[in-house]
Amino acid sequence: MTVSPFDHPLLSALLGDDEASRHFSVEAEIEAMLAFERALAEAEAENGIITRDAAAAIAAALATFQPDTALLRAAVAKDGVMVPELVRQIRAAVGEPHGEKVHFGATSQDVIDTGLVLRLKSVVEHLGLLLTETIIRLISLEERFGGRALTGMTRMQPAIPIHIADRIAAWRAPLERHQERLSGQSGRLLVVQFGGAAGTLEKLGDKGPAVRAVLAAKLGLGDAPQWQSQRDALADFAGWLSLVTGSLGKFGQDIGLMAQGGSEIELSGGGGSSAMPHKQNPVKAEALVALARFNATQLSAMHQSLVHEQERSGAAWTLEWLLLPQMVVATAASLRLAAELAAQVESLGH
Amino acid sequence: MTVSPFDHPLLSALLGDDEASRHFSVEAEIEAMLAFERALAEAEAENGIITRDAAAAIAAALATFQPDTALLRAAVAKDGVMVPELVRQIRAAVGEPHGEKVHFGATSQDVIDTGLVLRLKSVVEHLGLLLTETIIRLISLEERFGGRALTGMTRMQPAIPIHIADRIAAWRAPLERHQERLSGQSGRLLVVQFGGAAGTLEKLGDKGPAVRAVLAAKLGLGDAPQWQSQRDALADFAGWLSLVTGSLGKFGQDIGLMAQGGSEIELSGGGGSSAMPHKQNPVKAEALVALARFNATQLSAMHQSLVHEQERSGAAWTLEWLLLPQMVVATAASLRLAAELAAQVESLGH
Amino acid sequence: MTVSPFDHPLLSALLGDDEASRHFSVEAEIEAMLAFERALAEAEAENGIITRDAAAAIAAALATFQPDTALLRAAVAKDGVMVPELVRQIRAAVGEPHGEKVHFGATSQDVIDTGLVLRLKSVVEHLGLLLTETIIRLISLEERFGGRALTGMTRMQPAIPIHIADRIAAWRAPLERHQERLSGQSGRLLVVQFGGAAGTLEKLGDKGPAVRAVLAAKLGLGDAPQWQSQRDALADFAGWLSLVTGSLGKFGQDIGLMAQGGSEIELSGGGGSSAMPHKQNPVKAEALVALARFNATQLSAMHQSLVHEQERSGAAWTLEWLLLPQMVVATAASLRLAAELAAQVESLGH
Amino acid sequence: MTVSPFDHPLLSALLGDDEASRHFSVEAEIEAMLAFERALAEAEAENGIITRDAAAAIAAALATFQPDTALLRAAVAKDGVMVPELVRQIRAAVGEPHGEKVHFGATSQDVIDTGLVLRLKSVVEHLGLLLTETIIRLISLEERFGGRALTGMTRMQPAIPIHIADRIAAWRAPLERHQERLSGQSGRLLVVQFGGAAGTLEKLGDKGPAVRAVLAAKLGLGDAPQWQSQRDALADFAGWLSLVTGSLGKFGQDIGLMAQGGSEIELSGGGGSSAMPHKQNPVKAEALVALARFNATQLSAMHQSLVHEQERSGAAWTLEWLLLPQMVVATAASLRLAAELAAQVESLGH
């Protein structure tokens, strides 16, 4: 099915990003969940919560575990999450006597949230690389054309002469601040989620924090108290995604306006029309504007989901699932398109 | 790829709707586009714009046409739309001498927008049936439990005794108004889009309106002047979708609050927990709230896309693609879940 | 205080509308509330719920009643609504023995919601007149310049020659549909709200519907069952407001793009710059775009407030207050600006 | 006029904040603008752009300058900004021969944006204090009731026993992270805006950066290159505001749910009902939820305004004015209400 253009076999060529999407496949999600369950068993064994034999049996079973996805699908319809059924399947794979130690002390949200963060870690790296690439392309444009003249436009009116470097600086500088912002916030984002049924790790006695720290270390994540109902790091990251697409939307809008006619810009490639073969539509520039407005909209709902009632909310949590993966892919696509668009520029200014 | 839960092999079991999604598959979209091209050729032949031989050749070729989707995908990346490449492929399939008459006088947006409306016609029928079904389920609840007592809650505080029928009426009455609204607006929504390169059907001389009327009739749509940059009917329909999910979100929220504890409601089935086998989470009720907040958010961007510059905007148009299909599926899923949830109610009130 | 530009002594000259704002003053609100209380007393007397003497005493007291607004302000801080304190003051003004019959059987939400609808009735008339005026101005432009030539622009690229009439039609036609939509929905909007503590008019025995019908008639509103937790008519009206501003935002955007340079448009008047005296900024056109994007955003939260829990929700209801008045004024300002902008057009096309 | 509850003489008692609102009065805005013009004259004199006599004359005139606000209002309607008229008035007050040196090299946006940042500096301090106060109140609750028992609720169902301290930690911890975030981002926010007509300070020759640095220092702001079309710091700050209200919305929602009945919480004070004198509505808790959803919505449009075309955009800039002041006041009100609500708690848990 292809309801979202990010998943659409054709439209994703323009609006999607394969590498970012890959992290939101079922396979990637389950792989991350299995990594959580293995690391949890090992961390619990190191802390004497379960035996080392149990942990070894769990790790062995997970190494070859293949989920029955039809049953997982049915479970989602019934339970709202796949985890109870997934755990049941893993326990069956581990068998007696260690099966019951799988997922010990954890809850569905621990697996799903940590599984998300594990993939966001890769996402953050990917977006960081794309962001650097886009900045480099803009610097290259500045080097090639920065000294040329351009009529500065204010309030959509010709104002005074400026240089191409002035306009490019307004495209580039926000992106450099976004790099700073990402490194500032990723420490709060890339942390383990482990709280158990209601956030208190009640089954681990006084070993909860110790297990959590080992779990985090094994997964390559930061350690932090559980945040089952505290979604600020995700909302903040969504804000970062939308800052990036917003800044690139400004770049796209400017390119679209420069390409309206006249000789301010020359672009290679570019979009054909079924009615007017002479046209060359600034397709990537338009897509940057669309993706900016899309993310600006989704961000609103990520903040709505901060109103996350009590210890864990099904409604607010489910809402995030409808938003964050698409925001990530929109941002990756936007960065990719911006870099490609910059590379299409044959000439800027006079 | 499965970035959106509506497309996700597992999550769509809860949050998706197969029948609604089906209308947004590539196959359904291309089928609708081919129907447009055939009807256009026939309408143009009837008006003497192209020959009857040309129309017959086009219809014959379309009957067996199979697109090369790899080329379509590449075209989307380059042109922002698949239509120029699709038309090229159809023309090649028709061959000399009639191939060039394919898509005569039309533009990409005509094919894509009319192709969307054709599918929205089926969507409107599907949603109308689901809406009726949900209303019937609520009436049934009212018949079974309407006379029972309930403590009316205002501002989240116990207020005075009311009857179950009072609360159910507040769930049902908005849905009945939504039925009225849909019949009021669908006449404006389900109309053909045919304007040519810039809305003037300049290649059809004075035959433009006549061709358009026949085209509409052949497709089973209403006739209307082109609306390439006038997106109010789509935004209004998006508003209707969000009114429906909003009303059902209130139903879900109420069920969730009734199910908090105590004996106001008994639900069969319901969600399991990986940490607490004793729990029965009101999963469908929560999903209704999430889908309501999702659509309320998307609606904002559908209205942003009303700012559609000049004769046709790539940015505002592309933005719609990112929103409307998901809003439709969210609404269908919400109606399905509401009907299922109503059917799970074993007891209401005292 | 002047946090909102709609209330700002200076900025409201551009972004506000005096006539629309007038309906949201404290005076207008209290006047509408007093009208409700008087009509309620009379309707209850006609139905034998209170004596005719009581109704007469209430009407007499209301005729000269002046609220103590300092106490009302304190009450809002404490109760979230001014009504309990306002009713207390009115009862004191009526005095013994009839004071206790003031507001009999009603709840705060009845007074506030009906008070809102009473003012929306005037708002709808005002907006309807402004909408007609704007349409007339566009028709006048079409008559003056419709036959002139213009380069049709698609995807921000020069496409083919069109006429000014073609572009104006794309500005005008949606506004005409908005006229239709308003008359279609105003019957559902302009209805009385009367439900009592939890929507059941429990203090009126079997006379509830009869009292409500008379109350509605006396206030010049339609009669309808209570809608305390059913906010669809308000959300639908908000959607209409945003459709209007969205369509005018497209008009503004187009004017801004035409005014970028060249000779497609000549505007009289227009905005000065503190840095560049030669410039003439298309200020009203820009404001139309800003107001369109503002309303598109607010609409989202009006739909969020459809998730209105149980019999009456304080949170969802309060949210509406933060949105709807501003949406109304934004729409009135947008219509006013659009009419003024159309009147500034000295020349269009070639 | 009182279109916004933040400006409303009665509703602002609940939903507003006097101290925050004060910074958005006309007086505060003009005072900040005059501070900019004085500091600019002095910075330019120090760099030899204007004479010291001119700077002294400007400073002297500004010390007693009183604007004609009626003319400013008329100017906003015509120019979209008050600055050209304000500068004209100041120049007249300075008189010959130095009047023309007022505002030398600056543009309207420099004055308005820097004037905003000057006030945001005070706002940031105010919000920081309120945030600390709220955290202290929550710590106090934790000290008083932290050891008591509570039934942890997950997915709106009773889960397992937890302690009051567990729930309070979920209210407090995000607020502490918001403190960190604010100090992380305020360096990027609290910087001068000075770019001249199109961002290049073209009238200052090679002295532009030096003048800007002195200007910033005199105003107590950070120095940074102009950001006329780079609105990321404002959008990021808006995100912070919405993170704060979102976290407090969760607190409000939880309090509302605890107060539904039973004995989990006792609140002093609280809202009266006009229909049911026995009720005590959790008014402040509800307002927290409303303000959270309000800000989450406005945030979307702050990100829409990142698509700020060319050197300076009237539309995107005007949109910010409709959003940011209200978001600030909503946040201040939310923090105030949260602290008050915490102080109303007489008992928590068992």
Which A residues, 253 through 272, put their C-beta within 8 Å of a C-beta on chain B? 253, 256, 269-272
Tally of domains in chain D: 1
B281 to chain D, any CB pair closer than 8 A? The answer is: yes
How far A157 CA lies from chain C's nearest CA (Å)?
Answer: 5
Provide the residue count of chain B: 350
**For chains A and D, what is the number of CB pairs under 8 angstroms?**
230
Predicted ipTM beyond 0.95? yes
B&C contacts, CB < 8 Å: 229
A179 touches chain D (CB under 8 A): no
Residue C279 in this model has a pLDDT that exceeds 80: no
Q: Does residue A246 sit at the D interface (CB-CB below 8 Å)?
A: yes
Closest to B78 (Cβ–Cβ): which among A11, A271, A316?
A271
Mean pLDDT across D312-339: 97
Q: How far is B147 from chain C (nearest CA, A)?
A: 14
Provide CB contacts within 8 A for B95, sequence distance 6+. B57, B61
**pLDDT band with cut points at 50, 70 and 90 for residue B274:** confident
Over residues D213-261, the pLDDT tens digits come to 999 999 999 999 999 999 999 999 999 999 999 999 999 999 999 999 7
Contact status of A241 with chain D (Cβ, < 8 Å): no
β-bridge partners, C191: C222
Banded model confidence at residue B262, pLDDT cuts 50, 70, 90: confident
Closest Cβ opposite residue D198 in set A159, A188, A312: A159
Residue D294 with chain C: CB contacts under 8 Å: 301, 319, 322-323
Chain A positions touching D312 (Cβ under 8 A) are: 154-155, 159
Distance from the Cα of A78 to chain D's closest Cα (Å) equals 14
A277 touches C: beta carbon within 8 Å: no
- How confident is the model at residue D270, as a pLDDT? 64
Please state the separation of Cα A79 from the chain's center in Å.
25
Q: Do B155 and D281 touch (CB under 8 A)?
A: yes
Asked if the C-beta of B319 comes within 8 angstroms of chain A's C-beta atoms, the answer is yes
Instruction: Report d(CA D11, CA C198) in Å as an integer.
Output: 23
CA–CA dist D67, D90 (Å, integer): 8
* One-character DSSP codes across C116-152: HHHHHHHHHHHHHHHHHHHHHHHHHHHHHHTTSEEEE
Tens of pLDDT, residue by residue over C82-134, are: 999 999 999 999 999 999 999 999 999 999 999 999 999 999 999 999 999 99
With CA atoms as reference, the chain D residue closest to A196 would be D160
Residue A344 lies in a domain: yes
Whole-number pLDDT of residue A270: 64
HEC secondary structure over chain D: CCCCCCCCCCCHHHHCCHHHHHCCCHHHHHHHHHHHHHHHHHHHHHCCCCCHHHHHHHHHHHHHCCCCHHHHHHHHHHHCCCHHHHHHHHHHHHCCCCHHHCCCCCCHHHHHHHHHHHHHHHHHHHHHHHHHHHHHHHHHHHHHHCCCEEEEEECCEEEEEEEHHHHHHHHHHHHHHHHHHHHHHHHHHCECCCCCCCCCCHHHHHHHHHHHHHHHHHHCCECCCCCCCCCHHHHHHHHHHHHHHHHHHHHHHHHHHHCCCCCCEEECCCECCCCCCCCCECHHHHHHHHHHHHHHHHHHHHHHCCCCCCCECHHHHHHHHCCHHHHHHHHHHHHHHHHHHHHHEEEECC
Q: Which of A261, A285, A258, A260 is nearest to A271 (CA)?
A: A285
Using pLDDT thresholds of 50, 70 and 90, give the confidence band for residue B270: low
Residue A3 lies in a domain: no
> With pLDDT > 70 as the criterion, what percentage of chain D qualifies?
98
Q: Which domain holds residue C28?
A: 15-348
pLDDT higher than threshold 70 for residue D163: yes
Cβ neighbours of C228 in B, within 8 Å: 170
Banded model confidence at residue B218, pLDDT cuts 50, 70, 90 = very high
Please report the sign of the dihedral spanned by the C-alpha atoms of residue B174, residue B180, residue B181, residue B182: positive
Compute the nearest-CA separation of B56 from chain C (Å).
30
In chain D, the residue whose alpha carbon lies closest to the alpha carbon of C108 is: D274
- Give yes or no for B28 touching A (CB within 8 A): no
CATH of the domain at C31: 1.20.200.10
Could you give the CA distance from residue A49 to residue D221 in angstroms, rounded to a whole number? Answer: 55
Q: Does B179 touch chain C (CB under 8 A)?
A: no
Residue C270: inside a domain: yes
Encoded amino acid at A77, one letter: A
- The per-residue pLDDT for C195 is 98
Q: Looking at residue B100, what DSSP letter applies?
A: G
For residue B1, the model assigns a pLDDT of 52
Domain assignment present for residue C2? The answer is no
Interface contact C322, partner B, CB < 8 A? no
A145 in any annotated domain: yes
pLDDT at A275: 72
- In the complex, which subunits touch D with 3 or more CB pairs below 8 angstroms? A, B, C
Interface size between C and D, measured as CB pairs under 8 A = 262
C157 interface with B at CB cutoff 8 Å: no
What is the 8-class DSSP label of residue B162? E
| Helix B232-258 and helix B324-344, axial crossing angle in degrees, nearest 10 | 30
For chain C, the distance separating the N- and C-terminal CA atoms, rounded to the nearest angstrom, is: 48
Q: What is the pLDDT along chain A (350 residues), one digit of tens a residue?
A: 579 999 999 999 999 999 999 999 999 999 999 999 999 999 999 999 999 999 999 999 999 999 999 999 999 999 999 999 999 999 999 999 999 999 999 999 999 999 999 999 999 999 999 999 999 999 999 999 999 999 999 999 999 999 999 999 999 999 999 999 999 999 999 999 999 999 999 999 999 999 999 999 999 999 999 999 999 999 999 999 999 999 999 999 999 999 997 789 999 876 767 777 677 889 999 999 999 999 999 999 999 999 999 999 999 999 999 999 999 999 999 999 999 999 999 999 99
Total count of residues recorded for chain A: 350
Query: Could you say which residues from 110 to 139 on chain D have a Cβ atom under 8 Å away from some Cβ of chain A?
Result: none
Classify strands C265-267 and C345-348 as parallel, antiparallel or unpaired. antiparallel
Tell me, yes or no, if C202 comes closer than 8 A to chain B by beta carbon: yes
Q: Do D3 and C315 touch (CB under 8 A)?
A: no
Interchain contact, B282 vs D160, CB within 8 Å? no
CB pairs under 8 A between A and B: 262
pLDDT exceeds cutoff 60 at D303: yes
**C2 part of contact set with chain B, CB < 8 Å:** no
C136 in any annotated domain: yes
In a domain, D101, yes or no: yes
Q: Kindly state the average pLDDT of the residues D318-336.
A: 98
Interface test with D, best of B157, B255, B260 (most D CBs within 10 A): B157
Q: Which chain B residue has its CA at the smallest distance from D300's CA?
A: B300
- pLDDT band at residue D274 under the 50/70/90 scheme: confident
By Cβ distance, the residue of C159, C281, C300 closest to A157 is: C281
| Cβ of residue A183 closer than 8 Å to a chain D Cβ | no
Q: How far is D95 from chain C (nearest CA, A)?
A: 18
**Cα–Cα separations (whole angstroms), residue D80 to C250, C328, D91:** 19, 21, 20
Query: Which residues in chain A touch residue D183, judged by CB atoms under 8 angstroms apart?
Result: none
Q: Do D13 and C282 touch (CB under 8 A)?
A: no
Q: Which chains are adjacent to chain C, needing at least 3 Cβ pairs under 8 Å? A: A, B, D
A74: tokens are 């049915």
Decide if D12 touches C, using CB distance below 8 A: yes
A residues 93-112 closer than 8 Å to D (CB): 107
Nearest CA in chain B to A278: B197
The Cα D265–Cα A119 span in angstroms is: 40
B27 touches chain A (CB under 8 A): no
Contact list, B179 vs chain C (CB under 8 Å): none
Identify which of A179, A342, A328 has the alpha carbon closest to the alpha carbon of residue A252. A342
Domain assignment present for residue B3? The answer is no
Task: Name every residue whose Cβ is closer than 8 Å to that of residue A262 and which is 6 or more positions away in sequence.
Answer: none
Question: How high is the pLDDT of residue D10?
Answer: 96
